[in-house]
């Protein structure tokens, strides 16, 4: 059974760095073909893909947020970590991690974690 769960602060201040952790089970990110994405949804807006990390440690980022994002993995802990620098109120959103399958579909998702950016 594949599960993913996001964790991190519910509230961050403007200009701070956000660190989110995705803890998963039911698969290994050291297995060929496995990938994990981070996706967010701001209130009233669409899903927005942020970043992805692959089993071979390849990393991919949203073009518009690339300079602010870092994704990493700890295979031994079954965790993927996303950091986002210089947080702004427009970054207020529910952040999801999701497993990405071989045809780039997101087949399993976490429940999401709401992050509010405030002064």
Binding other proteins (rule: CB under 8 A), the pick from 18, 27, 29, 61 is 61
Rule CB under 8 A: say whether 37 interacts with other proteins: yes
State the DSSP H helix or E strand holding residue 24, giving kind and residue range, or none if neither. Answer: strand 18-25
Quote the least distance from Cβ 46 to other proteins, whole Å.
Answer: 5
How far from 106 is each of 11, 17, 57, 59, 94, CA to CA, in Å? 27, 26, 18, 16, 16
Q: Does 105 bind other proteins (CB under 8 A)?
A: yes
By CB under 8 A, residue 90 contacts other proteins? no
* Alpha-carbon dihedral 18, 43, 104, 35, rounded to 10 degrees: 20
DSSP state letters, 32-58? TT-EEEEEEE-TTS-EEEEEEEETT--
Q: Binding segment for other proteins among 16-24, 25-33, 59-67, 85-93 (CB under 8 A)?
A: 59-67
52 near other proteins, rule: CB under 8 A: yes
**Residue 113 is a binding residue for other proteins (CB under 8 A):** no
Chain positions contacting other proteins, by CB under 8 A: 37, 39, 46-49, 52, 60-63, 96, 98, 101, 103-112
């Amino acid at each position: 059974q594949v599960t993913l769960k996001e964790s991190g602060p519910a509230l961050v201040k403007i200009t701070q760095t956000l660190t989110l952790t995705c803890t998963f089970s039911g698969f290994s990110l050291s297995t060929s073909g496995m990938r994990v994405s981070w996706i967010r949804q701001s209130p009233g807006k669409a899903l927005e893909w942020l970043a992805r990390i692959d089993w071979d440690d390849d990393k991919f980022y949203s073009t518009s947020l690339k300079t602010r994002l870092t994704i990493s993995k700890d295979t031994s802990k079954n965790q993927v970590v996303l950091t986002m620098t210089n947080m702004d109120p427009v970054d207020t959103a529910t952040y999801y991690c999701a497993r990405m399958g071989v045809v780039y579909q997101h087949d399993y998702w976490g429940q999401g974690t709401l992050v509010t950016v405030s002064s």
